[in-house]
Structure 1
């Protein structure tokens, strides 16, 4: 079963998504100040310019995974804490969940075309992998649990904080393994639209965190 293909056709336009994204800036500012960090210090840690960070916090720059991922790592918080994605089962959920075959998809974008983002919750189901192919490119980031990814000849298990990206024309399948469900963010787009995340510089030996 494919996280992006099943959800993309059923995702509906929801004005609440704009409200969720509008709350990201104030949340970034609050978390930074709680940790006593400055924009200059956060810029040095993430490689993101001070002007971009300032525009994110003021709501003048639309948040993206490419920007939020290094910020989450710098603050040592889960990525969904920055996004503010609602928990599954909460009756106050603003995004409209899509449930298929026991799998829950929470759309995080409202545009009908281009890049599509989802928070996906997969229960542990005893089933044999059935890899599928389709046009596009997908990026995954595991929030919690363990996610088994079968991609071509590869069969790996990703844990919290780990990510994967791949051409969806390669046969692929993923499911939750272990004792509980797996939650992850999925960013899917037409072929050629890929995520580019700036890697954090390696810490020199003996350097303090």
Structure 2
């Protein structure tokens, strides 16, 4: 095997590990999503097992990234960004960042009120910032409830019980920044 191929394959394990950690899922969770065993996933992540196409395809699907991202395929020179929506828990999520780890950006479309599969408050590690692009949002944070419209933003620690959904019969679209490790969005003025 050539050096380039070895380099490409050597980088797959760390990328898989970063993607899984960024999503906040365990090896057992990912095993259930992909049909691969937790042992196989662990060996892929630590480089003890060479990945096959049959293993990479379900992993790319589960992480919502193109296969090229897992193997660090060389750029084709096409500057367009090809966004692939993911549908989860009644939401449409469009990843806007193409790297694992750190703060991730998403466009999230919430279905009209009453069509969301749950209104149960949730908690998880991380920090989130969102900006309402279109529609109106009902946002519950702990014991408090807020209504936000286009142009309004919120920032919160996701360990606080929370729920976000459309406030009316129209879908709502948000731009969301999420840091799985609790990173906050740092907005600073530009230097002149």
Query: TM-score w.r.t. structure 1 length?
Result: 0.51
- Partner residue in 1 for 2:64: 11
List structure 1 segments (4+ residues) > 4 angstroms apart after TM superposition. 13-16
Query: For residues 193 and 101 of structure 1, do their structure 2 counterparts lie closer, same or farther at Cα, with a shift above 3 Å needed?
Result: closer
Tell which structure's C-alpha radius of gyration is larger: 2
- Partner residue in 1 for 2:175: 185
Q: CA deviation at 1:125?
A: 3.6
Relative contact order, CA 8 A, sep 6+: which one is greater?
1
Query: TM-score w.r.t. structure 2 length?
Result: 0.55
- Partner residue in 2 for 1:172: 162
Q: CA deviation at 1:10?
A: 2.9
Separation in 1, partners of 2:175, 2:181: 19
Q: CA deviation at 1:198?
A: 4.9
Separation in 1, partners of 2:184, 2:137: 21
- Partner residue in 1 for 2:89: 101
Query: For residues 119 and 20 of structure 1, do their structure 2 counterparts lie closer, same or farther at Cα, with a shift above 3 Å needed?
Result: farther
Give SS of 1:19's match: coil
Give SS of 2:178's match: strand
The gaps in structure 1 that reach 5 residues or longer are 22-93, 200-209
Aligned length: 121
Q: Is 1:10–1:98's contact at 8 Å kept on the other side of the alignment?
A: no
Separation in 2, partners of 1:187, 1:171: 18
Q: What is the RMSD computed on CA atoms of the aligned residues? A: 2.7
Deviations 1:8-66 (A, max 9, x none): x63314679x9357xxxxxxxxxxxxxxxxxxxxxxxxxxxxxxxxxxxxxxxxxxxxx
